[in-house]
Structure 1
């Protein structure tokens, strides 16, 4: 074969994909493991249809992100700043940063739960954060390293959770019924179930879809690679659906009726059923999910904030690595506080929910706006069908934002204000009583 012929031969399809694997890893984290397991334990197989719908909308938006990064030559936030202005772009960047930081402490707790089961390391997360920061600053081709790591973690997750599911011996007929809304008992009227909204929120992760545009550029895709981008997005969506359905079905088969408050509860509940080997497999899957999400989630927050500020949005820019390290450290310190105190950081959780209410619809709207623009995309702008699907997904995010704001954020803020007022009123009363006793 001549040199000219050799250079014209394209790599195999599995060598031409990658960004979708990275995105799948950030979506399948400790939060999605706990939420899908809890829903399976509570509702059985009846909510599998929700997984499929969530994954379809995630597929739509990851496809938009991949297409944007493939067709355009500039970074996403640079394009956005030219289209809507720098202030709104910075607002989106800050929102994505805080969402990533909020997810990050959950990823740290997931890693902690996995390693604590078989070791005495109380602060093993410090070690893994140190490794992540070393990777961050020690490798020039950061994307290539991350892609390879995520491929390994995806394989471990699929293998571990599939074996757990085989041991659980799920009811295949009930699983098939769960694909149809309402047929297995989970109708559309259940859409306001908090656990169900949690499942949608941990599967339809718009910040990861937004970051897909960056990953496509890091991969080096050009217009000729649009087909590879579509294949990559479909593989990513399939992986997300498979892992989530496996987790839900395992819980439906063996944990029905149990209340699972943490990912550690899921592993502990499986131990009597599957034995130590089954629990080890689950912990391998949990660690893979947590640590893969651990790395990529921090990159999402750091890269997008840096790019929104106009400081650069590539792995070669020092600012992206510094801000990624900031997400890692914030997540680690909040997780260490939770481990040490045993209490949830309520203020941080409420703040993260409030930011998500604003930032998630803005990020989705920005992605839809850019990919619909003829000026930005030329002949590759969205067609009517894609715009309709993306529009429905955008409305779903708006509905979730409204529900979270009115049912979770505002009531929690009112509760904290009431508690704060009560404390202020109690302190003068105690001081007055102390003065009277002294007299």
Structure 2
């Protein structure tokens, strides 16, 4: 009697075959993307939905590159860069991403605060809650032996909350499906829309998050044999980004498009606008999604900066290493400090945003170029080196990032610097007038 010696087929549960892509989706869907999507939907209806397809397609391409690099390469990305190009490049990539993450972390703090401010009028209580959630995030870094597994489970919960909350409000609005479908067809008249297109692409095509996919894949323990799982996982994460962005734009289009009585300046305005349509339940549901988006991005964004900077500096890239934990904590504390200054003292975030955009001009194309270069290197990837189709499409994504960086450097940054100078000059004049005339009302408000 012969025995069957063929290897047993192990059927792993579906959730073990995904994870890093979901975490990356949480980086992308934050307060900034919620506001951008909602503002575009309110102002332009469904007409910009086609842009989501393009931006998510580029994000998918680079997430796939990150997943391949993490599964195939024997060394961490920082070690690879140092070996192939030198320490200067690994430091430039890591530190550049860290400063971007730290600068934008204040926005995630303000997004978390916005979810509470919709229900709590006391600013100090809201500030205390922000400090509490920062403390939880820092303790999360040090408390768990298998931090990745806990992070993955937490992000799965946040993704489920986002999908459910944004879908419920959209279905209650009953959007016109015909108009939605038309929105996925590019329009021939693009006059005045390029700024909108670039803004939407910029909030969805987050290259640092795509590069961090390599670290997440390594933390999950995937190797070359798991490469197919990594690529499927990247697609799942991209689909989630697509669905949430489309739901946000479509909700705003159905609720606010064509209305002159609604001005969306913060996520709270979106929540209040939905409350006027459906009552307090719509506001509560939206704020659940807002909190999930803000806090998930809040935690993972800081880890992107901390882990990539630590790896770039040669301080370690594993969750068990001290370097990533300390730099992630530094990013969290920096974002919290700026966020609290804005909430409590009305601190002007403009210098922080200007600095972040200035670093992004250099860092974003650099990070994309390095990821494309590493995954196109046969000595790193072996038989899994990029093919001509992927190289061409990813190259187009790199060109788009360079164009966006050029636009920011030539138009956006000078305009913001000039506006900031003008606002500070106005404030200074008002303060001088106040000093001379004590009875005068306070100076002009500095707006972002």
What TM-score results when the alignment is normalised by the length of structure 1?
0.92
Shift of 1:140: 1.4
Task: Say whether residues 1:404 and 2:405 are aligned partners.
Answer: no
Q: Unpaired runs of 5+ in structure 2?
A: 433-448
In the alignment, what sits opposite 1:333? 337
Note the 1:69-88 alignment, pairs <5 A. Answer: 69-88=70-89
Shift of 1:300: 0.3
Shift of 1:146: 0.4
Residues 196 and 261 of structure 1: is their aligned pair in 2 closer, same or farther, counting only changes over 3 Å?
Answer: farther
Contact 1:181 1:188 in 2 (8 A): no
Secondary structure of 2:126 counterpart = coil
Residues 72 and 55 of structure 1: is their aligned pair in 2 closer, same or farther, counting only changes over 3 Å?
Answer: same
In the alignment, what sits opposite 1:436? none
In the alignment, what sits opposite 2:356? 352
Task: Say whether residues 1:172 and 2:177 are aligned partners.
Answer: yes
In the alignment, what sits opposite 2:143? 138
Q: Unpaired runs of 5+ in structure 1?
A: 429-439
In the alignment, what sits opposite 1:32? 33
Note the 1:261-280 alignment, pairs <5 A. Answer: 261-280=265-284
Shift of 1:95: 1.0
In the alignment, what sits opposite 1:241? 242
Contact 1:23 1:212 in 2 (8 A): yes
- Matches of 1:423 and 1:294 in 2, distance apart? 32
Secondary structure of 1:122 counterpart = helix
In the alignment, what sits opposite 2:97? 96
Residues 320 and 270 of structure 1: is their aligned pair in 2 closer, same or farther, counting only changes over 3 Å?
Answer: same
In the alignment, what sits opposite 2:435? none
Shift of 1:420: 7.5
Residues 419 and 135 of structure 1: is their aligned pair in 2 closer, same or farther, counting only changes over 3 Å?
Answer: closer
Contact 2:104 2:353 in 1 (8 A): no
Note the 1:35-434 alignment, pairs <5 A. Answer: 35-119=36-120, 120=122, 121-123=125-127, 124-182=129-187, 187-193=189-195, 195-256=196-257, 257=259, 258-416=262-420
- Matches of 1:395 and 1:5 in 2, distance apart? 49
Contact 2:52 2:245 in 1 (8 A): yes
Residues 189 and 75 of structure 1: is their aligned pair in 2 closer, same or farther, counting only changes over 3 Å?
Answer: farther
- Matches of 2:269 and 2:421 in 1, distance apart? 32
What TM-score results when the alignment is normalised by the length of structure 2?
0.90
Secondary structure of 2:145 counterpart = coil
